[in-house]
A and B are shown apart, each in its own frame.
Chain A
Amino acid sequence: MVGPADMSGPMTPRIFRVASKRRETADTVTLAFDPLEGPQIELRPGQFDMLYAFGIGEVPISMSGMSEGSVLHTVRAVGAVTRAIYDAGEGDVFGMRGPYGNGWGLEDHPGADVLIVAGGIGLAPLRPAIEHVLAHRELHGKLSVLIGARSPELLIFQDDIARWQARLDAQVRVTIDVAPSEWRGAVGLVTELIPRVSFDPGRTVALVCGPEIMMRAVATDLMDLGVASDQIRISMERNMKCAIGHCGHCQFGPEFVCKDGPIFPYERVESLMRVREV
């Protein structure tokens, strides 16, 4: 009894095939997925899918782009499921259900300067937002993209970054925590890049994704510069078993990260971020 998509239970995945694979770093790949049957999953930037590796488990993974009709997911191998996805080859199949979550909501800020700050794999869910702004340049103000990584070989989307850096209508800066001697770019934390780009704090929307401690540091610096806390959006991560607000695992204070987030205005979560173990 394999029912059509709209009749099936909310925890039932559909089958997707890996159309292509690109290696990003030693532990990270980008896979393009197509459904075996039925429609493609349509995700807004910032939304995510639940990816199921046969018999192993299911994990939330953000959409990192669209390519020729395929959904892109960029996955860092850290455990059993992400390792299985990392090991996949073209033609392999996975279960997938989505879209989940709310998205970055850039459309709520027409004309605003857009400041994007990414740490590590946090660039994955921001990539489609960057591409969106670049594709609709006239709808937005200044675009700044600040990217931090622990070392040059951990930098994902290097081709994309080079392409973004070549644009005259975007300020794209990369920094490395600890750089080898041949690194010619900036060295230091991603927060140190903030003063190096120009944006109007009063009319800027900031999209931030990375480790919680980094997002807190970025938000604090931006607020000091005069960016309002409701104009700063951060993408939260919590354990998730269902993505539909049933399993309870992703609670962050009153929020269910899966359905109320994963993107939150900083204003809404600021007090929670200051308490340990929420």
Chain B
Amino acid sequence: MHRSFGRKEKKLPEAVIDLEGLQALLDSLTIRGYTVLGPTVRDGAIVYDEIAGVNDLPAGWTDEQDAATYRLTRRDDSALFGYAVGPHSWKKYLFPPQTLLWKARRSSGAFEVEEAAPQGGPYAFLGVRGCELAAIHIQDRVFLGEHPDPTYADRRSNAFIIAVNCSTPAGTCFCVSMGTGPRAGPGFDLSLTEILEGDRHAFTVDVGSERGEELLSALPHMPATTEDERSAEAVIERAAGAMGRSMDTDGIKELLYGNREHPRWDDVAQRCLSCTNCTLVCPTCFCSTVEDTTDLTGDNAERWRSWDSCFTLDFSELGGNNVRTTTRGRYRQWMTHKLASWIDQFDTSGCVGCGRCITWCPVGIDITEEVAAIRETQEGSRHGDT
């Protein structure tokens, strides 16, 4: 039931590129018309934005993360990808925070609706982590189902994805528990593993698609050797052993469905501020609201869709009341959806173990800790009972 995105057939990396090769990769994406997006340092965090070249990447930076804590510090090397994930996720490009859906204009006793054509892109994403690629696959299930979302479908099908296998998980990471990393894939066009050995700074390259292959063949590259393969594997293995957090997902759906009245919800409600941060930074959270507006003449209307959060009171408005008036109800909705109902709805967990919600929660609420607390103290607990 819980799909694993992290595993794939182990095979030889196809090629090795150096820093020049990486720059050439970005250049050829630009020449092909892609807007290249990748990690860059801004206001004390590593965020995703348009990058002109290798020089814009966070060389020599890493991120220290813990509950309610995020700090950039220097590494003792010049790694370009030596950190985990920051406050942004690729969701802001595929499912933009605000989207114009259509405009309408009054004319002769009726009105006409003009759909907004999908805009933006094609995008190339550089530095997509295993957890993030899994998150994209999860949002695919939401937005590319029976009623495909035009903007998402357009941006997604045109996106060129360059994954980077994690070398430096953060203190809040638990992708291994969720089966989404640290090895990225499947679903990338190219996947890089950064190798820093003495003076050597290179990237092994895995090919995941025809267009990835086509792009690679146009770059200066070397075939990967067995040593290169070993180095890349060692990076991923080290990362897998360096998870800051873990979550026991065994029977998690039944655990949460069976504990809707657990006292731990009251406990977390005492701490949670209902600030919505966790939902905004989460790469899989997809809830939205719509706003219908008119201009001053009243003859031109627009419909905008924007990110919404189940932590707001309005979210559950119904007949002049609200279904979820308490923080207890809202936190329970969020976590139960993420880890349990998501499985019924989309045949996958809604959590990829990226740790963002833990890092960016102002009061340090930790989803792994909340699950563990319920597991330890549930009625008829496997661990508590004998």
Q: Decide if A57 is an interface residue (CB 8 Å cutoff).
A: yes
Is B345 in contact with A9, judged by CB distance below 8 angstroms?
Answer: no
Interface residues on B, range: 35 or more
Tally A residues with Cβ within 8 Å of B.
44
**CA–CA, A252 to B98, complex, Å?**
25
Is B142 in contact with A9, judged by CB distance below 8 angstroms?
Answer: no
**CA–CA, A13 to B115, complex, Å?**
10
Is A55 in contact with B287, judged by CB distance below 8 angstroms?
Answer: no
Give A230-255 interface residues, CB cut-off 8 Å to B. Answer: 237-239, 241-242, 244-249, 251, 253-254
Neighbouring B residues of A213 by C-beta, 8 Å = none
Is B111 in contact with A54, judged by CB distance below 8 angstroms?
Answer: yes
Interface of B, helix, strand, loop or mixed by DSSP: mixed
Contacts between the two chains (Cβ within 8 Å), count: 131
Which of A12, A237, A241, A276 is B289 in contact with, Cβ under 8 Å? A241
What 1/0 flags go to A9-27 for Cβ under 8 Å of B? 1111111010000000000
Give B318-350 interface residues, CB cut-off 8 Å to A. Answer: 318-320, 323-326, 328-330, 332-333, 337, 340-341, 344-345
Is A242 in contact with B318, judged by CB distance below 8 angstroms?
Answer: no
Give A199-223 interface residues, CB cut-off 8 Å to B. Answer: none
Q: Decide if B87 is an interface residue (CB 8 Å cutoff).
A: no
Interface of A, helix, strand, loop or mixed by DSSP: loop
Q: Decide if A33 is an interface residue (CB 8 Å cutoff).
A: no
Q: How far is the CB of A33 from chain B (nearest CB, A)?
A: 13
Q: Decide if A166 is an interface residue (CB 8 Å cutoff).
A: no
Which of A3, A245, A278 is B147 in contact with, Cβ under 8 Å? A245
Is A251 in contact with B292, judged by CB distance below 8 angstroms?
Answer: no
Is B104 in contact with A54, judged by CB distance below 8 angstroms?
Answer: yes
Q: How far is the CB of A54 from chain B (nearest CB, A)?
A: 6
Give A40-99 interface residues, CB cut-off 8 Å to B. Answer: 52, 54-58, 78-79, 91, 93, 95
Taking A55-B293, A277-B329 as known contacts, 19 extra A-B pairs with beta carbons closer than 8 A to each other, sorted by chain A number, are A10-B147, A11-B102, A13-B113, A15-B112, A54-B294, A55-B292, A93-B111, A95-B113, A239-B317, A241-B288, A244-B146, A245-B142, A245-B147, A247-B288, A248-B286, A275-B260, A277-B333, A278-B260, A278-B329
- Which B residues are within 8 Å of any A CB, using their own CB? 101-102, 104, 106, 109-115, 117, 142-143, 145-150, 257, 260-261, 286-290, 292-294, 298, 301, 303, 305, 308, 310, 315-320, 323-326, 328-330, 332-333, 337, 340-341, 344-345
